[in-house]
Amino acid sequence: MASFSVLLILVCISLLAPVIAPYNTYDTATFDIMDAETPPSWMAGGSEMFMLGTDIQGRDLLSTMIYGLRISLLIGVGAVFFQALVGIAVGLISGYLGGRLDSLLMRLADIQFSIPYLIVAIFASAIFKLAFGIGRYEDLAVVLLIIIIGLSQWPHYARTVRASVLGEKNKEYVEAARVIGISNRQIMLRHILPNTMTPVLVISTIQVANAIMSEAALSFLGLGMPITKPSLGSLIRAGFEYIFSGSWWITFFPGVLLVIVVLVILLLGDWLRDVLNPKLYKG
Amino acid sequence: MFAFIVRRIIQAIIVMLVIGLVGFVIQHQIGDPVRDLVGERVTPAERAVIRDRLGLNDPAYIQYFRFVKNACQGDLGFSFFYKKPALEVIVSKAPATIELVIVTAIILVVVSIPAGIYSAIYPKSWISRIIMAASTIGVAMPVFLTAIALIYFFGVELNWLPSYGRGETVSIWGWESGFFTLDGLTHLILPSISLSTIMLPLFIRLVRAEMMEVLETEYIKFAWAKGLHRRRVWYLHAFKNTLLPVITVFGVQVGILFAFTILTETVFQWQGMGFMFLEAVERSDTSLLVAYLVLVGVIFVVVNTIVDIVYGLVNPMVRIAGAK
């Protein structure tokens, strides 16, 4: 439960970012490059204006981290919504209608499964970057990242939902619904879908953590959020070059925040899985 | 049995064709092969002639067939940055990545198996709890963060280990190896430790779970009842049956390891295939991109197919389930 409260606090912080953050980091007038690379306030050379120091462009690190947290969470949850939408739709249709459509869709999912998701994500973002050009890519970065990360992971949802649907399809309430004459679509959406939600919920939390880590990895490689609208991954990338000159805080604090967020979501997912299905043993 | 193998191979070929299609679309739409060949300073009239000569004005499906035919013969395009055939560039960088993956695999096996077995046999001891806690945190920590942390502690602060590059390498029949020089070996340490942290939590938990399940089975209880020495029970009887799932998972994860080398090589400036891929993205060198995609696709598909076939050979249930 501790993890749930930590997560709640983090989500609140990120939602209230414009109110809480000491500085608005998107407004270029509020920071000055002469402030760049100030150490945290408790070290020599630090100032009280910047609690955790500043990054390479003179932005206050604490504020940038809060905004970055917001973007990371937004992309993580958005990507999972997208994956879930596509995956559930495909799983429902494939499982309920069966036949050749089922084989085709599952073959597609298998093909995508045999390629590691990170490679799919990196390739998709590389292609988008080349196709859109760097300027337009940066403007649309959040949306594109949601689509990219969503596209790389939908087979997971599709397979899980399909397995559930195959189990539910032969039960009597489905047969009864068919006998009454309810249309296929109604049956899928209102009768079968609610009963497949349990596994979906369980994998969703872990997928959010995965999505946040994928986004951080993509940003770290330079294929994700640009430095003007940084997410935690981009901050780590920016700080990495300055580790050798001693400005360790630019990488350290965003890194710690990222690990805390992902850890908390993972623990929450574990707890959820135990609560929802005690028969499933922990692997 | 034979039908099973044939089915897996056909599936592998289909996946390869899809990958080839994706690669072809990338090269066709985004790259500019004329620029790849002759650079920027050529007049449009000459470019038109070259386009015709290269067959770029043919319909798409003819170009696709030509692409596949060339790919099968080893011609994957020309890198305009390196001014060399793409395959040659990749093959020259491949030894770096392969050596990294080999050392990482060794670390994985050497660390995860003892740790997993120990925490399965003594689940309540404090060492086991530390191992499990560390593995949970290890899952949450992205590989580049671990790499940066390692560089900072061992490279910058303590200055024990070098933090970038490969060090001195020895060329053995064209294979640039870092194994034979002390410098090369010290350079290998930090990157392979970082790369292994991705997979270590998974493997430790896997070995532990499998071992715990095996230890509950009837025949192990019979072995205890017979009075066999505990080491014999653990290592000879129990452990052998945990190996099978571990090996199959390992086969699949090798592919993922290759994918994560992109991240690790970026941090350590390790001149391998992953780093080359990122540079190709930054320079819009589509031939290298496509060549990397095709090569890595081949590696995954081959490894997965072999693992599936081996698993099918050993576990009859898989063959029967697939035959329906």
A223/B151 Cβ within 8 A: no
| Spatial separation of the C-alpha atoms in residues A79 and A152, rounded to whole Å | 10
Place of tokens 């029970």: B233
| Spatial separation of the C-alpha atoms in residues B222 and B213, rounded to whole Å | 15
Confidence label for B115 from pLDDT (cuts 50, 70 and 90): confident
Q: Is pLDDT above 80 for B287? A: no
Each residue of B136-154: pLDDT tens digit? 888 888 888 888 888 877 7
Determine the average pLDDT of the residues in A162-171. Answer: 83
Q: Is pLDDT above 80 for B132? A: yes
Place of tokens 């066709």: B28
Q: How far is B73 from chain A (nearest CA, A)?
A: 23
DSSP E strands in B212-305: the ranges are none
Token representation of residue A111:
């093909």
Percent of chain B with pLDDT over 70: 80
Three-class DSSP category at B79: strand
Q: Is pLDDT above 50 for B127? A: yes
Determine the average pLDDT of the residues in B79-96. Answer: 78
Q: pTM for the whole thing?
A: 0.80
* Range 21-50 of B in CB contact (< 8 A) with A: 22, 26, 29-30
Give the highest mean pLDDT range of A23-32, A45-54, B171-180, B304-313.
B304-313
| Spatial separation of the C-alpha atoms in residues A205 and B173, rounded to whole Å | 50
Residues of A in contact with B296 (CB under 8 A): 119
Determine the average pLDDT of the residues in A87-93. Answer: 87
User: Please, what is the Cα angle at A205 between A282 and B204, to 5 degrees?
Assistant: 35
Residues of A in contact with B304 (CB under 8 A): 114
- The kind and range of the H/E element at B177 are strand B175-177
| Spatial separation of the C-alpha atoms in residues A125 and A142, rounded to whole Å | 12
B266/A118 Cβ within 8 A: no
A114/B304 Cβ within 8 A: yes
Token representation of residue B275:
């780093």
Q: Is pLDDT above 80 for B206? A: yes
Tell me which residue of A218, A170, A165 sits closest to A192, measured CA to CA: A165
For B105, half-sphere exposure in the C-beta direction (CA atoms, 13 angstrom radius) is: 18
Q: Report the first-to-last Cα separation within chain A, whole angstroms.
A: 21
Determine the average pLDDT of the residues in A216-228. Answer: 81
- Quickly list DSSP for A78-147: HHHHHHHHHHHHHHHHHHHH-HHHHHHHHHHHHHHHTS-HHHHHHHHHHHHHHHH-HHHHHHTHHHHHHH
Cα B246 to chain center, whole Å?
A: 17
Determine the average pLDDT of the residues in A94-105. Answer: 82
Confidence label for B319 from pLDDT (cuts 50, 70 and 90): low
Each residue of B214-270: pLDDT tens digit? 888 888 888 888 888 888 777 777 777 777 778 778 777 877 788 788 888 888 888
| Spatial separation of the C-alpha atoms in residues B52 and B247, rounded to whole Å | 51
Single-letter residue type at A239: G
**What pLDDT score was predicted for residue B35?**
62
**What pLDDT score was predicted for residue B37?**
61
| Spatial separation of the C-alpha atoms in residues A253 and A74, rounded to whole Å | 20
Cα A168 to chain center, whole Å?
A: 30
- Quickly list DSSP for B105-128: HHHHHHHHHHHHHHHHHSTTSHHH
Taking CA atoms, what residue in B is nearest to A244? B156
Confidence label for A281 from pLDDT (cuts 50, 70 and 90): very low
Token representation of residue A259:
């690990």
Q: At what angle do helices B126-140 and B182-215 cross, to 10 degrees?
A: 120
Q: Is pLDDT above 50 for B324? A: no
Residues of B in contact with A115 (CB under 8 A): 15, 19, 297, 300
